[in-house]
Structures are given as structure tokens and as C-alpha cells.
Structure 1
Amino acid sequence: MAIPLIEGQAAEHVLADKGYDSDEIVMAIEAMNANPVVPPRSHRKTRRTYDKHLYKERSAIECMFGNLKQFRRIATRYDKLATSYLAFVYVGAMWLWLK
């Protein structure tokens, strides 16, 4: 499902984890004139290079979303309206930033 997800999107870089390290996905990313930032799996015979600094940025964002899920209201999405939910995501992000 990764290829249909990125089709038609415009990006300079596409960041993904090792689970998306396949030749088809990497070729689809390169076909859209983007740089794939996908670390190679350990069993890959020919190693590809990737931007390790940019991948660490992805990891920091993923950890932030994981920390946001410590707020029960965000994790279970109690709010009926998307604007109310987004407002509490902002409050949670501010709480984590100030912490």
C-alpha cells in the first residue's frame, strides 16, 4: 500500500523505516524525483546509502507522537469534533515542549 500512498505526491525527501526497504518502493520514490531516506535492511546484499541525519529527525518526530499518546484523551480520541481533538493535540504538544 506504500506505492499508492505516495503516488501523486510532491516531495523532496520520502522518509520511511526499514519495513519499506524494497526495490519497488525505492524506484517509485525516485520516479517522483524525491530522495528516498530509507535505511537498508540487514539482509540486503547491496547496501544503499541514505541521509542518516534526516532519518534521525524522523525518529524524533515519531517519538514525539509516541509521547503524545500518553495523554489518554489523545490516544482514545474522545472528542467528537476534529477541531476539539486538534486543539488538545496542540495542548499536549505544548506540555511536552515545556516539560
Structure 2
Amino acid sequence: MLEVLQPDTILLADRAYDSDAIRSLAAQKRAWANIPPKKNRTGSFSFSRWVYKQRNLVERYFNKLKHFRGIATRYDRDPLNFLTAIKLASVRIWLRAYESAA
């Protein structure tokens, strides 16, 4: 997945992915690696806690998406049908969030 990293994007990853190889690949692709440094890291890197907190939104979305049995077990083997199922489930998740906010 890192090979298709586009320029001027943000790579969000957790502390386990803090390695010189990943950071240099992101720099080579002209992307910003927003990865919290490991405890034993000697150098310092720019890191935004606010941007890292936004990663939680993505994690929660995938958690909600996994509650749909057809998606979690991937009944549809056709990639187009699977993508359609993800889109439909995403609409249901969004509508539930919209209803609870209103």
C-alpha cells in the first residue's frame, strides 16, 4: 500500500510503524509521515497530535463496517459487488449517525 502513496498526502500510522525505512519511503514519495515516535527513538520528527486523533474516526468507521455480516465474511467475491455492499453499509452508518444527532 505504501508503494501507491501520492505526493502531498499524510501517512497516518501507529507507533508500531515508526521505522526509518517507512519514513524515508514517505519522504521519497513527498508525503508526510505522521507517526508517533517510539519510546527508544533518538531523532525527532514533526508529529501532530490533532491529525493523529483523526485516525480514530477511520478506526471507528471500520469497526462499525465489520458489524455487517456480509462485509465481514465477504460473501461477494466480485469486487464490484463487494464495493457496492460497502457503499450501502456506509450509507446506513451515516444515516444512523445523522438520526442520533437530530
Shorter-chain TM-score above 0.5: yes
1: distance between equivalents of 2:61 and 2:69? 15
CA RMSD in angstroms comes to: 1.8
State the match for 2:85 in structure 1.
88
Please point out which of 2, 7, 18 is paired with 1:6: 2
Structure 1 length normalisation: TM-score?
Answer: 0.79
Please point out which of 47, 52, 60 is paired with 1:50: 47
- Whether 2:65 is the aligned partner of 1:68: answer yes
Q: Unaligned stretches of 5+ in structure 2?
A: 97-102
Q: Deviations over 1:22-66 (max 9, x none)?
A: 122212211222211111123324443312222222221122012
Q: Unaligned stretches of 5+ in structure 1?
A: none
2: distance between equivalents of 1:15 and 1:48? 14
Please point out which of 22, 25, 37 is paired with 2:22: 25
Q: Deviations over 1:49-91 (max 9, x none)?
A: 3122222222211220121001110000001322221111111
State the number of aligned residues. 95
Letter in 1 for 2:78: L
Letter in 2 for 1:67: K
